[in-house]
Chain A
Amino acid sequence: MPPLRALAQIELSWTPGMVKGPAGAPVTIIEFSDYQ
C-alpha cells in the first residue's frame, strides 16, 4: 500500500449533503470514489 501524505497537512472539507451518519460518530470513513 503506497503511503498517503499526512492528513494533518491537508485541510479536508466536505459537503453536508454528501455525508451519512452523525457528526459525533467516533469513526469517520472518507470515501474518495469515481462513479465511472
Chain B
Amino acid sequence: MLEEYDGRVRLVFKDRPLAMHTLARAAHEAARCAGAVGKYWAYHDRLFAAQPAFRRSDLLTYAAELGLDRDAFAKCVDERRFAADVERDIEQAQALGINSTPTFLINGRPVIGATSIEEFRSIIDRALQERR
C-alpha cells in the first residue's frame, strides 16, 4: 500500500500488546531490540509470520535468522531494554481508548479491526483529497 501511494503515505507502527496475550509484550520488546540494530521491519514481518510462537527461544532464533548477534540480542531481551518504550505506546493507546487491535488512525480518523484493502484505499483517497 505504501508503494501504491508512493511518497504520499507514511506508516507509523505503535506497540499495543494486549494483556490477554501473555507472550506479546516480550515480542514487542524484542522487535525494538532488532530495531536498535536496524532490523526493525524485518523482525516485525518475521513475528507476524510466526505468531504466536514467541517464547524466548523463538525470539532469539528469529534474530539469528536475520543475522543478528544472538548473544547481544539475548542480552537486550533479557534486560528488557525497551520495556519502557513499549509501555509508553500502551499508555498512549489507552489514553486514546484503543483497546483492540489492530486499530489505525488515518490522519486521525479511527479505523478499528481488520479492514479490506478497498476500504483503506477509500479512506486514504479521502484523506488525500482533504489535504488538497
In this complex, what residue of B is CB-closest to A18?
B13
B window 1-60: CB within 8 A of A:
2, 5, 7-18, 21, 23-24, 27-28, 31-32, 35-36, 38, 40-41, 44, 47-48, 51-52, 54
Chain B at the A interface: mostly helix, strand, loop or mixed?
mixed
A19 touches B124 (CB 8 A): no
In this complex, what residue of B is CB-closest to A1?
B112
Residues of B in contact, count (CB < 8 Å): 55
On B, residues with C-beta under 8 Å from A are 2, 5, 7-18, 21, 23-24, 27-28, 31-32, 35-36, 38, 40-41, 44, 47-48, 51-52, 54, 85, 88-89, 92-93, 95-98, 101-108, 110, 112, 124, 127-128, 131
